[in-house]
């Protein structure tokens, strides 16, 4: 520390050195770019270049064995004519429009009541938060075990002991998709509840006090004060959950490893189709066109979020 003043005042004396001739602000610009050098290369090579490459590959016919051949929009035409794509498209939206509202309504209801509970609050919150810290692959296998037929699966055993008929769950083309959604919703709720709790706590208590003095009922307070003030949190969670369900993969893949996306493609989302087209059939061009579609869907969603956020509450 003793040397510090010397450096601060010593600049005039050693004016000949290059570093001293640079003005303070030029030096700071150099520091900034020094700090950014490695990250700029990283984002260029690992994010932007691959993005451009994905677009380019989507216009080619390529199976990795022979050189890629430019085919224009052929992959996109093929996609529009592919019945599997439309099936997968419908499945993906089914995950989204079932998963997002169910998980958010449950999470909000839990967070709303949890916020008012003082007795063992931390303990209750921990119970709900715990699933967030699990590994999706591990829990997919646990839930797969739960949904097995008798005599193995606990849920069918429970149904049997209640005198209810056994359900095929993962083996049924109708039931498999909602069955896979159960663990996906379960795993996401912990995070949503914590974020809702943070949002609820950020609302000043004076708003509630004023509303109570005005004689508003609890229900009116919920609809006219809590929910409108929670809009930023809601928009964030709706978009976050939607993106999660649009990209669902781990649970689908692991809950039916014999035929990921089965039975009969009834649970196949877009990302499983991309994975199989690219890394099972090595139809790289076609798979890239599918990733571009996913990108466009997510882009629309992000723009929607920006619009919603900008609107005044």
Residues 212-271 that bind other proteins (CB under 8 A): 236, 247, 249-250, 253-254, 257, 271
| Least gap, CB of 55 to other proteins (angstroms) | 9
Which residues on neighbouring strands pair with residue 272, listed in sequence order?
Answer: none
**Beta carbon nearer to other proteins, 151 or 215:** 151
**Based on CB atoms, which residue is closest to other proteins, 177 or 197?**
197
Chain residues 4-23 in contact with other proteins, contact rule CB under 8 A = 4-8
CA distances, 194 to each of 36, 58, 95, 112, 309 (Å)? 34, 40, 23, 11, 21
The helix/strand/coil state of 60 is: strand
Do the beta carbons of residue 232 and residue 224 sit within 8 Å?
no
Closest CA to 206 of 186, 187, 189, 229: 229
Stretch that binds other proteins, among 24-32, 95-103, 208-216, 219-227 (CB under 8 A): 24-32
Q: With respect to other proteins, which residue has the nearer C-beta, 174 or 258?
A: 258
Q: Which is nearer to other proteins, 176 or 273 (CB)?
A: 273
> Residue 21: in which H helix or E strand, if any?
helix 18-21
Q: Out of 202, 210, 220, 309, name the contact with other proteins by CB under 8 A.
A: 202
* Nearest of 200, 192, 198, 197 to residue 225 by alpha carbon: 200
Residue 197 CB, nearest approach to other proteins (Å): 7
- Please say whether the beta carbons of 242 and 185 come within 8 A: no
Give yes or no for residue 1 binding other proteins (CB under 8 A).
yes
Is the omega angle on the peptide bond into residue 264 within 30 degrees of 0, that is, cis?
no
Q: At what angle do helices 270-279 and 284-310 cross, to 10 degrees?
A: 150
Regarding 166 and contact with other proteins (CB under 8 A), the answer is: no
Minimum gap (Å) between residue 160 Cβ and other proteins: 11
The helices-and-strands tally (H runs, E runs) of the chain is 17, 2
- Out of 84, 94, 298, 308, which residue is the one contacting other proteins (CB under 8 A)? 298
Residues between 60 and 89 that touch other proteins (CB under 8 A): none
Nearer to other proteins, 176 or 255 (CB): 255
70 DSSP assignment: E
Contact 162, 76 (CB under 8 A): no
- By rule CB under 8 A, what count of residues binds other proteins? 95
Among 40, 220, 264, 309, binds other proteins (CB under 8 A): 40
Residue 28 or residue 212: which is nearer to other proteins going by CB?
28
Question: Is residue 110 near other proteins by the rule CB under 8 A?
Answer: yes
Q: Give the nearer residue to other proteins in terms of CB position, either 117 or 166.
A: 117
- Which residues 176-195 are close enough to bind other proteins by CB under 8 A? 183, 186, 189-191, 194-195
d(CA 310, CA 313) in angstroms, rounded, equals 9
Q: How far apart are CA 76 and CA 55, in angstroms?
A: 12
Residue among 279, 281, 307, 309 that touches other proteins (CB under 8 A)? 279
User: Is residue 291 a contact partner of residue 54, using CB atoms and an 8 Å limit?
Assistant: yes
Q: Which of residues 119-148 bind other proteins (CB under 8 A)?
A: 119, 122, 124-139, 141-143, 145-146, 148
Reduce the DSSP state of residue 166 to 3 states and report it: coil
Work out how close the CB of 107 gets to other proteins at its nearest, in angstroms, rounded to a whole number: 11
């Amino acid at each position: 520390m003793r040397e510090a003043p010397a450096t601060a005042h010593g600049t005039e004396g050693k004016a000949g050195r290059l570093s001293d001739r640079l003005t303070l602000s030029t030096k700071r610009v150099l520091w900034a770019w020094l700090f950014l050098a490695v990250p700029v290369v990283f984002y260029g090579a690992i994010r932007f270049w691959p993005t451009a490459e994905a677009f380019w590959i989507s216009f080619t016919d390529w199976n990795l064995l022979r050189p890629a051949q430019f085919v224009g929009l052929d992959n996109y035409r093929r996609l529009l004519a592919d019945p599997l794509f439309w099936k997968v498209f419908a499945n993906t939206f089914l995950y989204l429009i079932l998963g997002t509202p169910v998980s958010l309504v449950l999470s909000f209801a839990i967070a709303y009541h949890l916020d008012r509970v003082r007795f063992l609050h931390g303990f209750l919150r921990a119970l709900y938060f715990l699933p967030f810290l699990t590994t999706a692959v591990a829990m997919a296998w646990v839930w797969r075990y739960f949904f097995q037929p008798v005599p193995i699966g606990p849920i069918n055993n429970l149904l049997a002991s209640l005198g209810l008929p056994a359900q095929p769950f993962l083996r049924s083309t109708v039931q498999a998709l909602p069955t896979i959604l159960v663990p996906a919703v379960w795993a996401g709720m912990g995070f949503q509840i914590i974020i809702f709790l943070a949002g609820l706590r950020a609302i000043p208590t004076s708003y509630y006090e004023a509303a109570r003095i005005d004689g508003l009922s609890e229900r009116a307070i919920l609809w006219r004060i809590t929910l409108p003030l929670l809009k930023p949190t809601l928009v964030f969670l709706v978009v976050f959950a939607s993106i999660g369900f649009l990209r669902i993969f781990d649970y689908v893949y692991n809950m039916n490893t014999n035929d990921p996306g089965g039975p009969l493609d009834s649970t196949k989302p877009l990302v499983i189709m991309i994975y199989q087209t690219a890394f099972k059939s090595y139809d790289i061009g076609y798979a890239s066109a599918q990733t571009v579609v996913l990108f466009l869907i997510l882009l629309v969603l992000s723009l929607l979020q920006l619009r919603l956020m900008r609107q005044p509450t």
